[in-house]
Structures are given as structure tokens and as C-alpha cells.
Amino acid sequence: MDTTKPRDVQCLDIATDTTILRSRSWGRLRFEIEYALQRGTSANSYLIKGSKIALFDPPGESFREIFLAHLQESLDPKTIDYIILGHINPNRAKTLEPLLDLATNATIICSNPAAISLQLLLPNLPATRIKVMRGEENLNLGNGHRLMFTPIPTPRWPGALATYDTKTQVLFTDKFFGAHVCGDQLFDEGWALYTEDRRYYFDCLMAPHARQVSTVLEKLGSLPPVRFYAPGHGPLVRYGQQELTYSYKEWSAAQQQQEITVALLYASAYGNTAAIAQALASGMTKAGAQVESVNCEVISPDEIKEILERSAGFVIGSPTLGGHAPTQVQTALGVVLSEVPNTKLAGVFGSFGWSGEVIDLLETKLRNAGFQFGFEPIRVKFTPTEAVMKTCEEAGTDFVQALKKQEKAAKKAVAPIQSATSTEQAIGRVVGSMCILTTQRNEVSSAMLASWVSQATFSPPGITVAVAKERAIESLLHKGNTFALNILGEGKHISLMKHFLKPFAPGEDRFAGVDWEPGENGQPVLNEAIACLECTVKERMECGDHWLVYATTEVGTVFDADRMTAVHHRKTGTHY
């Protein structure tokens, strides 16, 4: 990805009377966890020019200036009759406000929850400029373009709205079926190339709302035939439409089948608390939990109670507004304190501008009630950085792992320990080299002890390494990422093995006290290793509870040719 390219707006015809305005960035746009692959993104806006003109989904603040400039070159904004919002948030409102000053004749089309948010975000906006679509209404643009609207709410985007054009059979899907990847390709020819990006996007944005996603998919499935999806980000989905739709159903169903459920309760004023919640949820889902994401602003106390009852643990987050928590968070806290047994694991997080009293309040109330915490309270001032987001993801993973330990201990107390089967004993005899896998990207670094390593190819020289899904390092091992595989020597591996086996707190420096220096690819090479391979990830394959990562080796160095490689011997194949 060429991150030196300037941001631009690409204008292309995609169907009859229909144009896409793709605001593109080749670098990482924001610090939300869903952008962490750093493959750029496109914010897709659309124009339908019937006898009336409709503009879909103006981009967020990052693209505001270039988008508005390009839009004015394309048409007179006063000719825009409708601005259709797939969702609204503070970031998009920063573009919408000056757009409305230009498009003085435009009426905003949105869902009812979005209309309520709009009036809070843009208090000077006259209510007469908003038209609410609840799902039954149609909008006739003329020239055969009749728009059908379907609310597609999730806790992160309660006001989300999908739009279907009966003439072109295009379905504008907003956040659904997108990917954060930037390029010149408009449609998804060779759609399998985007599988990793789309899966990562789903895991970050959709997996925490799997139950609501399944409901949305049922709604969209009842629409007339769809020619292609027009999502808010990434390529248009035509060639892989059937496969991606099936994958969304499969991924959502798998998420809902997880044995452990975590309730994630939050409210967000400016999007920062929601971003933290998303990072926590990402860590929880990759650790094998079903996350019930709860936007306290759009849910009743009875619904919160019901979700808490079926959850093994809960995490609650809030912004600090004028030294206070939003009313909805206070209500949710009241439900927790009155209805939830203090044997359930708890967590607290929040964002703030100048003070963080609410985070202290939540922590104090829960500790005084006897709750134990799965991670130390997370306090984020202003916008979270990449390192903070990674720390939050790790905290979410640790939270679920703590719940699993509780569950395992409870089962052990009531059931006798089962001896390993012959198959488990046999697979345990498969041995592997003792290695330390190390990687760093910008201000984020991680490492893990690895023994499930094998040479995979002669030409190019390549290896595979199995990485458990809940590992903190997993999210740094996607296609194009680099790492160092430090091979340990027999008789001098114990100190490094002990260091990297110990539990690390979220965000803790894995390399504190370890002697290392950067290799040729910039990754940490441990000076106590007997050899090192500097690698680039080429492929990933999902294998049960692990990812199998295939990487090629550009540089290999032997530091101690006389020492044998340390090998990991196991008696059972049920654990490391």
C-alpha cells in the first residue's frame, strides 16, 4: 500500500443515473480497531440523479474538505433534493453541517433514532428538514428510481438504514458488507482477495452484535433481487455477493454459539468510548466469547437486565460529561447493582476530556458492592491512540480468559479429571522447536513463545506457525506484516521461556529486561537466540481455535552453530 499518495475523491458511474464518490485514503484513517490492518480505506458516497437528486452518506470529517470541493465541481449543491443517511455519528455530522449550508433545498432522509441523534448533534437544524423513514415508506426520485428503506440497527449504529433502488436493483448497505481497503478497483473482481479484509472488518464491527446482525440479514433477504451491494467502505460487492452474504450468516451463527457471553454496556458522546468498547469487544470475540454489545442510550432497563442475566460477566463504560455520567449509564449501573450477583466478573472503562470522575465512580460503586475486576479500569483521555486500542483489545481477551478459568475451575470441582485419550497422547508426541515470535508495528509491539512451528516450503523458503486466536500477537500477523522468529538453543532457553510464558498485563512491555536489537526488517531479534528468521506473512488459514500463518523468510542468521535447537516435548495434545 502506497501511503504517500494524497487523499482524493474518485467519481465513477456504477449503474443507470447512479454515481459513486469514493473518498480515498491509502494510509490508516483513524485509530479505531477496525482500521488496524492499515490498508487504507474508502468512504463511499453515492448520487442518484432521477428527476430528483439524492446524495447518500457524505463522508466523515477526515474527507470533508476534498469531498465538498469535488461535489461542488460535479453539480450545484442547491439541486440536491435529498441527503440519505445510512447512519449518523459526530464524525459524519462535521461534514453534514457545512453540506447543508450548501445544499439549501435538501431534505435529510434517515431513521427515527438517527433523527433524534441529528437534533442533538446539529441543534440548529430545523426539524422540517428531516424526513423519517421507518421502513414502510418509499421515496420516488423519478425516472423509475423508487427507493425502499429498511432499518438495520445494531448497538453501535442504532440509526442505521439500508436503501434499495428498484430500478437499478442496487442495495446501499451502509456499514454492512464493507472492508477497510483502498485501491483503484471499483468492484470485487477476484473477490477472494478481499476475504481477509472482510473477515477482519466483520470481526471488529459485526461480531459484537451477532444477534442483531442475524436479524438484519433476514430483513435484507426478504428484499427483491439485488444486483450488487453498495457498502459504505471498500469495493462494491457484485462477484462475491452470494459468498459474502453466506459468510456473514455463518460467522454470526458461530458467534452466537459461543458458550461464554459477556455483556458490554456503554454510552458514547463523541465516539471515543464507543471505539474503546469496539476494541474490548474485538479482544473478547477472538478469545471465544459471545459479546452482547449494549448501547445504553437505545435500550430499556428490562432489556439490560435480561442480557445481564444470561451473561457470565459484564463490562461497563462511559464518557465523563461535565463531571457526570450520562443518565442512561447511571440507569444501567443501577440495574447492575440491584440485579447482578457480585460473583460475576466486572470491568470498567471510559474516555474523558479534562477529568475522568465517572470512571472512578463506576469503579468505586462496583468494588464497594463486592465485584471482582477482570482488568484494571481503562481511562482514556481524548482520542485513543493505536497503542491504547491494542491495550484495550488485550484487556478484552484477558477478561474472557479469566471467565474461562472460572468456568474450568467450577467444572473441575464437580466432575472427575478425565485422563487423556490415546489420540490426545499420540498427538502430544509431535514435537516442535522452541521459538520466540516477536513483532512490532509503530508504537505497538508483542511477542509469544511458539513451538508449533514447521518449515513449509523450499522455494521460497517459508515456515508455518500456529497462533491461538486469543493471543495478543495474533492481530499483528496479517498479510504483509513482518516478524522475527527467534530460535532458542538447548540448555540456554529456560530464562527466555520463563520470561515470555509469564502473564503480561494489557499493554505491558513484553521486552522489558530482554536483550534485543532490531533486525534488517526492523523486528526485534533476541540476542540469546541461536538463530533467527526474519519473515513476512503471506497467507493465513483459520484452523479451529488457531490461525495457521504462512510466512516467507527474507533473512536468516545462525548465531550459535554448535548448539542444538531446544525442543518442546508434551505428554498430551490437549494443551501446550
Can you tell me the distance from the alpha carbon of 489 to that of 404, in angstroms, rounded to the nearest whole number?
33
Residue 248, all three cell numbers: 456473514
Find residue 504's DSSP bridge partners: none
CA distance to 313, 430, 576, per residue, from 572 (Å): 31, 10, 8
Can you give the pLDDT at residue 1? 52
Can you tell me the distance from the alpha carbon of 95 to that of 91, in angstroms, rounded to the nearest whole number?
7
Which regions of 246-342 does DSSP assign to beta strands (E)? 260-266, 289-295, 313-319
Q: Taking the alpha carbons of 363, 365, 367, 372 in that order, is the dihedral positive or negative?
A: negative
CATH 3.60.15.10, the chain: domain bounds: 8-254
Can you tell me the distance from the alpha carbon of 130 to that of 463, in angstroms, rounded to the nearest whole number?
57
Can you give the pLDDT at residue 466? 97
CATH 2.30.110.10, the chain: domain bounds: 422-568
Can you tell me the distance from the alpha carbon of 552 to that of 482, in angstroms, rounded to the nearest whole number?
10
Q: Which one, of 174, 163, 154, 175, lies nearest residue 224 by Cα?
A: 163
Mean pLDDT by 10 residues, the chain (576 residues): 79 97 91 90 97 97 96 96 96 96 98 94 96 91 97 94 98 98 95 94 96 97 97 98 98 95 94 93 95 94 96 97 92 97 97 90 97 96 92 96 90 73 89 95 93 96 96 94 97 94 92 96 96 97 95 96 93 85
CATH 3.40.50.360, the chain: domain bounds: 258-414
Which regions of 190-247 does DSSP assign to beta strands (E)? 228-231
Can you give the pLDDT at residue 253? 97
The answer for residues whose C-beta is within 8 angstroms of residue 226's C-beta and 6 or more apart is 164, 169, 170, 171, 241
Question: pLDDT, tens digit, for every residue of 123-165?
Answer: 999 999 999 998 878 999 999 999 999 999 999 999 999 999 9
Question: pLDDT, tens digit, for every residue of 288-344?
Answer: 999 999 999 999 999 999 999 999 999 999 999 888 999 999 999 999 999 999 999
Can you give the pLDDT at residue 98? 97
Can you give the pLDDT at residue 487? 98
Question: pLDDT, tens digit, for every residue of 499-556?
Answer: 999 999 999 999 999 999 999 999 999 999 999 999 999 999 999 999 999 999 989 9
> What is the domain class of 258-414 according to CATH?
alpha beta
Q: Residue type at 16?
A: T
Can you give the pLDDT at residue 573? 85
Find residue 293's DSSP bridge partners: 264
Can you give the pLDDT at residue 208? 94
Kindly report the CATH number that applies to the domain delimited by 8-254. Answer: 3.60.15.10
**Which residue stretches of 476-550 are H helix?**
494-501
Can you give the pLDDT at residue 420? 78
Can you tell me the distance from the alpha carbon of 336 to that of 328, in angstroms, rounded to the nearest whole number?
13
Kindly report the CATH number that applies to the domain delimited by 422-568. Answer: 2.30.110.10
Can you give the pLDDT at residue 5? 84
* Residue whose C-alpha cell reads 487423556 in the numeric block: 420
